[in-house]
Structure 1
């Protein structure tokens, strides 16, 4: 076995990345002065008096998120226009100079408190680009300003699961281009919120590369460290207010972690993907888009291909001028959550028994994949890269989904697999795929069978599996 492949198999996620993987699906809230000017990107010169939502209710936002099964919410605390949704001590361009709550409001606090009360996690989006701040482009001065604002958000609002940095970068009001001190930003986050992942322009979670909901067939979490290069991330990020950007993706980026790719890498890292898209064409609310909420089938497809394709799903929900998520969006989220729950509620493996072609020892028995405990797992002896596991459901059952999960705490190993069902004495194909990673959802036409076989046809060093679940969609 190549030394590089064994090294790749040993790359593991951090504890904060593991916690992030387990969140799977969470919401994005884009809300600022743009909501009231009907723009996607503000100019930085908007009057704070514009910000005056009449019925703002952060609890409603959180309840809508929960209705879809989301486990967290990320708030755009400051977008590119520089308007702050909290009363920052370092700028006058904030809610403290708006009529909302008579200038005494703090939307970041309201959302953080609503998340905490409802039992979901809270994250922050803070745009490094700031079209309002006059020091933007005077790199040292602005970096100090930005660090001060970041420190406010990291210390005043409780536990934060994610700090989401946009890659957008442009000129400041002074015509200068800013050089961001990323390493200092990261260090501050690590000190003040050590459990928070730093996403997109950060070392913990990578952007999937588009805003169209496109996902890769093979989504590797173990990739060359060069993908963490912020300058390259910024180059591929949106540079101007362009409505077509959200529809683009580059098929040349489809392979980020195959054997061919990692052979030439100087260093490999655990850098998993997040798929982000909006429930509407825009990221901010526009009344003309009320009838353009994504169809349920489209959202379900993105959910299965992201959460079921070793990536997390970040779905944007833009509140309207009232400060509420629109009824159309809320209704669609409830439909989405109900469908997901109905589909993945009843695991048909409850009484099943598993037998593997090989196992490392008694602690790594094949039945570990059926026990519902993500701490236990099956694996064959070291060096065994191919294996079979046969599942006996104990009786004939009808199903059309199989959910597979690797034990990613020890690495991502599986490169290809196939699934079959037994028809009499004949094994017939169900599905085949490449990577599994944290989770893989396999879909196929409904079959009725008692026996299912998983064949791992290629892996790195040796494969692992922590969960095998069988479902029937309604």
Structure 2
């Protein structure tokens, strides 16, 4: 039992995983019956008439997300209470049975259309647990019900980039625990939306392991195959809305992909991480949280640690009972987007000269890391696991961010690296890091230099690098 280094490097992302990784930062929208009852987990016995937003504007939601620099939106089409934000044919617990828009409303349609109009991708969350549906707990009957609703979402609302499943599971009215048929659901998604990734309870994207925004120092995308079904195990799923689950951090899973993990594994898979966290303490809107919205500085730190730590960031934005993103949330999102554009809008190393200690051939030369192209890369010859690059900015410049990207189409290879800058004739330490993966944001005190050196000190085999970007934060250029 062991996976060799060579075998681990051959594990690469699928085209759908690669397209998802490039999205980087997108929104969760928790909106539904809980928005109007003040609960976070509904019971399923709510009167549909309670659902009645007074100033509903799906375009405002999407605009708030777009202004933050997000690339997509995932809507909670049905949460655990079973209330559907679309007029499902299979239940009486939906917008169709509310007085809102005379029973003709469809939140899923509106958000999907707003995303298309504003250039964002659209995804769906469908709770496997349904506390309203009487057949829940009668596993074959409920699975058919769930699959029917899944087909509705996948056939009526255009292109879907993601189907997001959690593992929440409880007892049905018959006192029996529901046993989900995940594989049947996956087959339906692959049939109807072949480009969609299936997240968390699914084969494409894994949960980071907590809802607190905690990240690992080394986030490997290549992990043991047995991690794929962890969220499907009922005993590991969330059973109660007690507030503790969202803050739970499991220290036992700090290392998912190092050489010591390879030595104990049977098989490795490409299973990258997504960090899901809310802009507020709760997932659904609570007026008591209006003064607890994450600050712009907190959002910046979260973004750089997650997106810049080989993960994607799924940030929850809960609309209020009016059907609007609250003014505070919208303002912080807008200011986050302004900061991100000001910081990462100009790569100071674009087109810069690059020297490499080793270069394999003309197709993978060092200049590829500053050419602004995602489909080119630098790579030293086989057998060279330690290598150096030196970036010449042409003149001294101020910077405080360096962004590294591996060419993950050839696997995840870099295990440790060092960044230095040249001061007079001395190389001064700037930053030390471990894995790179799809993207690594290295932040440090503002520095002025012309020459920057990257030393790859440990790599599984000869490393690849697709991009070396240099940036200066905010307005301090």
Partner of 1:46: 46
Partner of 2:256: 256
**1:138-174, Cα deviation, whole Å (9 max, x unpaired):** 1111111110000000111000000000111111122
2:29–2:75 Cα contact (<8 Å) kept: yes
Partner Cα distance (2:199, 2:231) in 1: 15
Alignment of 1:68-467 (within 5 A): 68-230=68-230, 234-467=234-467
Q: SS where residue 384 of structure 1 aligns?
A: coil
1:134–1:172 Cα contact (<8 Å) kept: yes
Q: SS where residue 431 of structure 2 aligns?
A: strand
Partner Cα distance (2:231, 2:370) in 1: 44
Tell me whether 154-163 or 239-248 shows the greater mean CA deviation: 239-248
For structure 2, the 5+ residue unaligned runs are none
Partner Cα distance (1:287, 1:64) in 2: 19
- CA 233–452 in structure 1, closer or farther in 2 if over 3 Å, else same: farther
Partner Cα distance (2:351, 2:373) in 1: 15
Per-residue deviation at 1:462?
Answer: 1.4
Q: SS where residue 134 of structure 2 aligns?
A: coil
Partner Cα distance (1:453, 1:221) in 2: 26
Partner Cα distance (1:281, 1:237) in 2: 20
1:351–1:394 Cα contact (<8 Å) kept: no
2:404–2:441 Cα contact (<8 Å) kept: yes
1:31–1:319 Cα contact (<8 Å) kept: yes
**1:87-108, Cα deviation, whole Å (9 max, x unpaired):** 1111111110011110011110
Partner of 1:473: 473
Partner Cα distance (1:13, 1:41) in 2: 35
Partner Cα distance (2:235, 2:431) in 1: 38
Partner Cα distance (1:287, 1:84) in 2: 23
Per-residue deviation at 1:295?
Answer: 1.5
Q: SS where residue 454 of structure 1 aligns?
A: strand
Partner Cα distance (1:25, 1:404) in 2: 17
Q: SS where residue 22 of structure 2 aligns?
A: helix
**1:281-339, Cα deviation, whole Å (9 max, x unpaired):** 10000111111101222111110010000000000000010110110110111111111
Paired residue total: 473
**RMSD of aligned Cα (Å):** 1.1
Partner of 1:67: 67
Per-residue deviation at 1:80?
Answer: 0.4
Calculate the TM-score normalised by the size of structure 2.
Answer: 0.98
Partner Cα distance (1:301, 1:28) in 2: 19
Partner Cα distance (1:351, 1:133) in 2: 59
Q: SS where residue 418 of structure 1 aligns?
A: strand
Partner Cα distance (1:234, 1:377) in 2: 43
Q: SS where residue 359 of structure 2 aligns?
A: coil
Partner Cα distance (1:400, 1:235) in 2: 45
Partner Cα distance (1:473, 1:103) in 2: 49
**1:159-194, Cα deviation, whole Å (9 max, x unpaired):** 000000011111112221110101100011001000
Partner Cα distance (2:197, 2:231) in 1: 19
Per-residue deviation at 1:238?
Answer: 2.4
Partner Cα distance (1:186, 1:282) in 2: 29
Partner Cα distance (2:289, 2:83) in 1: 24
For structure 1, the 5+ residue unaligned runs are none
Calculate the TM-score normalised by the size of structure 1.
Answer: 0.98
Partner Cα distance (1:176, 1:233) in 2: 16
Per-residue deviation at 1:119?
Answer: 0.5
